[in-house]
Amino acid sequence: MHRDYCVYGDIKSGNCYKIQLLLSLLDIPHKWVHIDILSNETHTSSFRAMNKNAKIPVLEINGDTYLCESNAILNLLAEGSSYIPSSGLARARVLQWQFFEQYSHEPYIAVARYINKYLGLPEDRHDEYLSKQGGGHKALNVMDGQLSETPFFVGAQPTLADISLYAYTHVADEGGFDLAGYPHIDEWLERMEGLPGYVSMA
């Protein structure tokens, strides 16, 4: 089935970059509309009509249907591709890592990056920033442990699990995380960046 896609997002956001990366890896035609979250463009009435939760990214399908939440969008876009394994257990493991990313990884690494890079680490958020460091390093330890056993998160080939976790991990240094102590993550980042169709975050 042919679908026309338009993404509303900001590629400097890891959750939006996930979508851009997968679209490039799979060479899927699409349009992109830049949304500036720092200017509150997600809180306009027109944007809320697409996503009542007022967050990016949003995927517009055929001009009249909208899908929100980055990992849900990834699962739709990757239908029929190798990024979704054929085995039921492997698919469940992809979801396991995607849930991990949204609950145990992104709330720490992405928020630390936002506080440091975009807010300039203000004094009134310093304690929060330090708290995010602890949670982020815990997630990175879990990831490094898995990658010591397999080249990608669900075996020998990249899946949506890798797309989801790559987005904020590869810019973790912008949140104050030193990846030098995570050698298996470092090797995985190189493998991801060597994939045909790879595109960097702007």
> Residue 93 sits in a domain of what CATH number?
1.20.1050.10
Residue 61 is predicted with a pLDDT of: 98
Q: Are residues 67 and 116 in the same domain?
A: no
Residue 28 has pLDDT above 70, yes or no: yes
Domain containing residue 98: 88-193
Residue 100 is predicted with a pLDDT of: 99
Residue 35 domain flag: yes
> Nearest-CA neighbor of 143 among 166, 116, 114?
166
Number of separate domains in the chain: 2
Q: Are residues 53 and 97 in the same domain?
A: no
Distance of alpha carbon 170 from alpha carbon 189, whole angstroms? 7
* Structure tokens, 108: 């720490």
Residue 82 domain flag: no
Q: SS3 for 73?
A: helix
Average pLDDT over residues 178-186: 97
Q: Are residues 23 and 51 in the same domain?
A: yes
Residue 83 domain flag: no
Distance of alpha carbon 71 from alpha carbon 73, whole angstroms? 5
Prediction pTM value: 0.95
Distance of alpha carbon 51 from alpha carbon 68, whole angstroms? 7
Task: Assess contact for 179 and 140: CB atoms under 8 A.
Answer: yes
Residue 199 domain flag: no
Residue 45 domain flag: yes
Residue 201 domain flag: no
Residue 200 domain flag: no
